[in-house]
Amino acid sequence: MTPPEEVLLPTPDPSPEVTDITAEQERLNNIAAAYRKSIATSAERDIALAQLHGLDPTPTEIRAALTTWQI
C-alpha cells in the first residue's frame, strides 16, 4: 500500500502588504489607541482601588506605606 500523495496547502505571502495611509487615518488610529489606553488605565485604577478598599487600611497605615514608596 502506498502512502497518499502529500497535498501542499497554499500559504499566504509572508511579506507585509504595503499600503498608503492617509494623514487622517493615521490621526484616527492614534486617537483610537489613546482611547483604548485610557480605558485600560481606568480599569486598572478601578481594580487597584477595589484591592485597596479590601485591605481597609487606616490613614496611619497609608502614610507609613507612602514613606516606603520609591518611584
Residue 57 resides in a domain: yes
pLDDT at 7 exceeding the cut of 80: no
CA distances, 10 to each of 6, 13, 14, 16, 17 (Å): 13, 9, 12, 17, 17
Q: 6 pLDDT band (50/70/90 cuts)? A: confident
Any domain includes 28 = yes
pLDDT (0 to 100) of residue 68: 93
DSSP string across 2-61: PPPPP-PPP---SSPPP----HHHHHHHHHHHHHHHHHHHHHHHHHHHHHHHHH---HHH
With respect to residue 44, please indicate whether it lies within any of the assigned structural domains.
Answer: yes
State the pTM of this model: 0.55
The domain containing residue 59 runs over which residues?
24-67
Q: End-to-end distance of the chain based on CA atoms, in angstroms?
A: 71
Number of domains in the chain: 1
Sorting pLDDT into bands at 50, 70 and 90, what band is 1? low
Query: Does a structural domain hold residue 61?
Result: yes
For 9-58, write each residue's pLDDT tens digit: 777 777 777 678 899 999 999 999 999 999 999 999 999 999 999 999 99
Structure-block grid coordinates of residue 65: 506605606
- 13 belongs to a structural domain: no
Asked if residue 46 belongs to a domain, the reply is: yes
Q: Is residue 53 part of a domain?
A: yes
